[in-house]
A and B are shown apart, each in its own frame.
Chain A
């Protein structure tokens, strides 16, 4: 460990640190233009110059490259340092007179006008080489480099021509301190316009999730793209996230994996998905960036979102009118006939947020206001008092006007006539529906689904969390649309039912189960697909079907279906049933 004196203050440095790193870690301000903590120091802009006094000799050195050796005395603001920085900034301002970051830095050193003749007032590049080093060291694409010498020096690809080596990652534009590099999309449409989607390869899909875990979009990530593009030859590109993550939480080698666990009970809580409003063209979803779904509005208004919680239009303006359309895809014979239950209340909340955060007028197109929960009706009244205009009647159509405004048409059932309103933003309160792969989950656990697609409970009133498969329970919106309190209650019930079962450690089963006479079983697997409780499995090594007695409800389907007559239902054997029939007939 080295000890240095910076501006009279004693500081300590780790092995391998530079003077700049130590100074910044201790709160000393040193201006830089060509420095980036993730790149090799370059020493080109010379702004980070400081006075270094070593063995009695004083020299100006760039702190970004100078090793923090023991016993150094550093002056970051001595007159020679200030003078040199001022001259350099004067030179840079004369090169790039219209770059804000240079103007601001120059102003700090008292320079307001370019002191030397300006050659090209549009020049933005200060040749700091950040882009070149990023492309070489991190992206490993080696697209950008310097050509020419001296004042003619330029940054660009080889021979200043387009090159396929460029992967269009845009890292150069991000590191460029002066905004001298632009990315031009030559093939429009490759990058889908995603105003509310991810803006970088690492993003947080659920802003308020706990824990709030970001994911890497491997299609956008430089490391994965370079690895794919070069068939693994460049496997170590970028990795900046890993370098900066103090928790060491980033592991590029992590793969999807299948985990097998033996359990006695299962709670199915596979939730729901949002219905895609593009299916009904009258809502014009996708035709304007200002027509968004309720979920997208949640991203927009979230404090951790891309606008930091501000409610803005795609062009950055504040909306002046907002329409919220209820029952988009719900209670609709063309989509889902059921009521999604949660939309009324979240729409009201969103109306409240718009009123709270902007001065926009809010129009709610609703069919019936279903404020059924505790305190909900009161909230409805409060929102009305906040000046939200309630229009009873389905919002029938959204039209994108030539000037970008959005015209919402609908029926005001109270007035009995058609109305329309022109707004800046439309929020579609879209339905929630069973996940698209619910049928696979159902097949896995032997669950049945109701007509709306959600999983069916064993009995709608008496057994709302159980399924017909023993030990399998439902929780939350997997069973039917639910708001948060209902979901929590339902999940609690499922958990306690599962716990009750586990606590016993064993289950009492009905003695009336089916058994397979393995001598007779031909292994045709007919029974397996027919069993409604997934109680029969196929034993490969013995080539026979076997019944799980804990799951079997003794329904007898398999018994009747077995072509070999190899399955028998205990207590309901053929002889017993024949005897019963005979007994009954004897009585008659």
Chain B
């Protein structure tokens, strides 16, 4: 069991970068005679993943980014012994470049509302003792001993919690429907098969606070009734999540918080981790359940809801891991507290992953209804290089692109759908003005083509056909009639496909056609790619009055396509240029243009 420390160093987001960091710290602490006084904890994700390893020092809240083993002696001397901040390790405000030493002062965090992720990064996820110490399993004991299953469901319904996996179905209603379906055997499943590129909220949660998910599931299983076995479905590409969950489950069993006669209440439940093989479609509920059953992970028609006939044909409550992790909060703090965050129809907080052209790449948690502007500029720190925001893609590959003009759109289930996108599990990819929207649609369809299970013909063949048309357009071979064909195809794939993947697959096409039709037209009619991305339609050139003749581009060009004397304007030979864009990236004077 851990000891009482005067200070704890909470280290997050190592991502395997400096495996020797923690041993080095421990050695230094021992050398300085601080053993027993100062603890070192490898904790879960703190969100600023790109700046990892990050270190939060408690008490006090000093926050260091990019901590490396070489920084350890100074850090121990200055901070742990003398109580001073090491400013060079502090977070740098992206716009003002000022150092911000304290966690609470960092805008990235101060604008967030971290509920679900509160303990993530605050405790050692492999220690049930720390989870219990911060109040873990309090909700479970409250639910099991002072609440009836119906009261729990009522509480969850009242809280307004909606599924965090994307579809946004009311969790309380789902549980109630499962409870009301006839069946001696019912199941509960947590969906941790996060497959969207650029999304890792679920991974962070499973890695950083696995007990919260388990606690939520035990409460849910008790509320639904007749649930003796529950499953957490995790993609195998998340080895740390699998191992932390398994450790957590084993600890919970040992403490009697799982298994038979939980906390002496007579309630039995066991939870198992099922590893998925990494098919995107297995995040779809019916495919996921097929996969849990050991069958090929492909969707089935859902004329009966899983709450009626789910896993092995029995009533099943399937929720995202984040949904489950919200349950202990609702039980502990009450539905009113939960509902005080968010909007009329979207309550509570939601985690998002900021990726793409944004300063603070990482994981955030914000109240529902926050505007995209706040997310991108206040929390995300804006677009690097002062470029202009063009669009935000939400909801993963099958979500949609929201244009910069809708920057004040509140982020909640219904507003996103109205704007032609969706909440999804919480991926947010930020795109600047150097992003070609036709190319983006093509990129996402490329992903979906690989990930369609291939069972039903509209999805399998329709995505291929749409992708072929988009590829043609990006290569300058498009016709105006293609746009109409795309729309017809998109409509059929949307309405006639079997599962959610197919039905949402055309979203990238539909939303870019809706908000960025002029870019399509530019590709087709003018044979130009306004963002300068589609290689067949662009040409790199040197802007004469900006070029100082530094020769950097000439040296970096892999094709030797750039020539020019020192201090004189350089020239790109279009015949040799392969349009890799390196010259444009390296030029310090923005002297490489695209036309």
- Indicate if the CB atoms of A88 and B496 lie closer than 8 Å: yes
A46-B457, A146-B454 given; A60·B303 CB < 8 A:
no
Most chain A CB inside 10 Å of its own CB: which residue of B296, B303, B451:
B303
Identify A44's interface contact among B457, B463, B485, B492, CB under 8 A: B457
Separation of A485 and B296 alpha carbons in the complex (Å): 66
- Indicate if the CB atoms of B279 and A149 lie closer than 8 Å: yes
- Indicate if the CB atoms of B468 and A116 lie closer than 8 Å: yes
Separation of A44 and B489 alpha carbons in the complex (Å): 17
- Indicate if the CB atoms of A88 and B457 lie closer than 8 Å: yes
Identify A150's interface contact among B300, B460, B485, B491, CB under 8 A: B460
Contact partners of B301 in chain A: CB under 8 A: 41, 43, 62, 65-66
B449 at interface, CB cutoff 8 A: yes
Separation of A21 and B497 alpha carbons in the complex (Å): 21
C-beta contact mask, B420-451 vs A, less than 8 Å → 1, else 0? 00000000000000000000000000000111
Interface residues of B, count at CB 8 A: 34
Separation of A61 and B304 alpha carbons in the complex (Å): 13
Return 9 A-B CB contacts under 8 Å, by A number. A43-B456, A44-B457, A46-B497, A67-B303, A88-B458, A94-B465, A117-B468, A127-B455, A151-B454
Most chain B CB inside 10 Å of its own CB: which residue of A80, A116, A146:
A116
Give the nearest-CB partner of A92 in chain B: B457
Most chain B CB inside 10 Å of its own CB: which residue of A65, A80, A88, A152:
A88
- Indicate if the CB atoms of B496 and A151 lie closer than 8 Å: no
Q: Quick one: which of B482-518 are within 8 Å of A by CB?
A: 485, 488-489, 491-492, 495-498
Identify B458's interface contact among A46, A67, A116, A126, CB under 8 A: A46
B230 at interface, CB cutoff 8 A: no
Identify B454's interface contact among A45, A91, A92, A152, CB under 8 A: A152
Contact partners of A149 in chain B: CB under 8 A: 279, 281, 450-454
A95 at interface, CB cutoff 8 A: yes
Contact partners of B468 in chain A: CB under 8 A: 116-117
A residues engaging B (CB < 8 A)?
Answer: 41-46, 49, 59-62, 65-67, 80, 83-84, 87-88, 91-92, 94-95, 115-117, 126-127, 129, 145-146, 148-153
Contact partners of A88 in chain B: CB under 8 A: 457-458, 461, 492, 496
B462 at interface, CB cutoff 8 A: yes
New contact pairs (8) apart from A44-B457, A146-B455, CB-CB < 8 Å: A67-B304, A87-B492, A87-B496, A115-B485, A127-B457, A150-B450, A151-B463, A153-B453
B464 at interface, CB cutoff 8 A: yes
C-beta contact mask, B345-385 vs A, less than 8 Å → 1, else 0? 00000000000000000000000000000000000000000
Report the minimal beta-carbon distance from B462 to chain A, rounded to whole angstroms: 6
Separation of A12 and B279 alpha carbons in the complex (Å): 41
Report the minimal beta-carbon distance from A327 to chain B, rounded to whole angstroms: 63
- Indicate if the CB atoms of A150 and B457 lie closer than 8 Å: no
- Indicate if the CB atoms of B452 and A151 lie closer than 8 Å: yes
- Indicate if the CB atoms of A66 and B453 lie closer than 8 Å: no
Q: Quick one: which of B143-164 are within 8 Å of A by CB?
A: none
- Indicate if the CB atoms of B460 and A49 lie closer than 8 Å: no
- Indicate if the CB atoms of A92 and B303 lie closer than 8 Å: no
- Indicate if the CB atoms of A45 and B496 lie closer than 8 Å: no
A65-B301, A83-B492 given; A43·B498 CB < 8 A:
yes
Contact partners of A87 in chain B: CB under 8 A: 458, 462, 488-489, 492, 496
Identify A45's interface contact among B304, B453, B457, CB under 8 A: B457
Report the minimal beta-carbon distance from A178 to chain B, rounded to whole angstroms: 13
Contact partners of B488 in chain A: CB under 8 A: 83, 87
- Indicate if the CB atoms of A153 and B460 lie closer than 8 Å: yes
Contact partners of B456 in chain A: CB under 8 A: 43-46
Contact partners of B457 in chain A: CB under 8 A: 44-46, 88, 91-92, 126-127
Contact partners of B304 in chain A: CB under 8 A: 67
Give the nearest-CB partner of B452 in chain A: A150
Separation of A60 and B458 alpha carbons in the complex (Å): 13
Most chain B CB inside 10 Å of its own CB: which residue of A45, A91, A94, A117:
A91
Contact partners of A65 in chain B: CB under 8 A: 301, 303
Contact partners of B455 in chain A: CB under 8 A: 42, 44, 127, 129, 146, 153
Contact partners of A60 in chain B: CB under 8 A: 495-496
- Indicate if the CB atoms of A145 and B465 lie closer than 8 Å: no
- Indicate if the CB atoms of A91 and B462 lie closer than 8 Å: yes
Report the minimal beta-carbon distance from B452 to chain A, rounded to whole angstroms: 4
Report the minimal beta-carbon distance from B492 to chain A, rounded to whole angstroms: 4
Report the minimal beta-carbon distance from B515 to chain A, rounded to whole angstroms: 24
Report the minimal beta-carbon distance from A226 to chain B, rounded to whole angstroms: 21
Most chain A CB inside 10 Å of its own CB: which residue of B450, B452, B465:
B465
C-beta contact mask, B295-312 vs A, less than 8 Å → 1, else 0? 010101101100000000
Separation of A83 and B465 alpha carbons in the complex (Å): 17
Contact partners of B460 in chain A: CB under 8 A: 127, 150-151, 153
A116-B468, A152-B454 given; A146·B296 CB < 8 A:
yes
A46-B458, A127-B454 given; A84·B303 CB < 8 A:
no
Identify A91's interface contact among B279, B452, B453, B461, CB under 8 A: B461
- Indicate if the CB atoms of A150 and B451 lie closer than 8 Å: yes
Give the nearest-CB partner of B296 in chain A: A146
Separation of A108 and B449 alpha carbons in the complex (Å): 29
Separation of A153 and B296 alpha carbons in the complex (Å): 12
- Indicate if the CB atoms of A116 and B465 lie closer than 8 Å: yes
Report the minimal beta-carbon distance from A381 to chain B, rounded to whole angstroms: 66
Separation of A117 and B469 alpha carbons in the complex (Å): 9
Give the nearest-CB partner of B299 in chain A: A43
- Indicate if the CB atoms of A80 and B461 lie closer than 8 Å: no
- Indicate if the CB atoms of B453 and A150 lie closer than 8 Å: yes
Report the minimal beta-carbon distance from B108 to chain A, rounded to whole angstroms: 38
Give the nearest-CB partner of A148 in chain B: B454
Identify B465's interface contact among A44, A66, A91, CB under 8 A: A91
